[in-house]
Amino acid sequence: MFLVATYVPNSGDKLQRLAFRTEVWDKRLQQYLSSLEEKKPVVWCEDLNVCHLDADIWNHGAKHLEKSAGTTKEERQSFAAGLRDGKFVDCFRQVHGADASGWFSYWSVRAGNLPWNRGLRLDYFVASESLFKESGGGDGPRVVDSRILSDFVAIDHAAIALTLAL
């Protein structure tokens, strides 16, 4: 399999990089991941700077979110488009279900949000859908678990983990 670790560009405080993020970066990265996936399964991970679902935002519905990097409609739709074709899966949601809420990987240090678990899920493992299928011959890796390690927070982000059966 391929392991791709990236830091996805933040759209900026005033969303000055939003168009670059959604129209250039996201599209080129999805093309690259798809080209890799044609050869063998892919796992893409790290700080993807987006909150895909409402459950990934502690205060979803707040009016300021539409103007905040990582929570704009454009970023969320762009991320969802990369999953929609069925090739790639959000590992945490696949393992824990779409209703898993209260699990975040980022907390604002400026606002002191960690003690109250007022966070966002910005860090992901996204994997080829084929890594979730039972392999008849046991001849390849398979996703077993995906976790947010909230006991391991470095300043503002928690570590994330993916367990594979080989």
Direct distance between the N- and C-terminal alpha carbons of the chain, in angstroms, rounded to an integer:
11
Determine which one of 52, 106, 124, 157 is catalytic: 157
User: Considering 7, 32, 52, 60, which one is annotated as catalytic?
Assistant: 7
**Chain Cα centroid distance, residue 99:** 16
CA distances from 76 to 41, 72, 80, 152 (A): 24, 6, 6, 26
Residues with Cβ within 8 Å of 4's Cβ and at least 6 positions away in sequence, in order, are: 32, 33, 36, 42, 43, 44, 45
**Known catalytic membership, residue 7:** yes
Catalytic residues: 7, 157
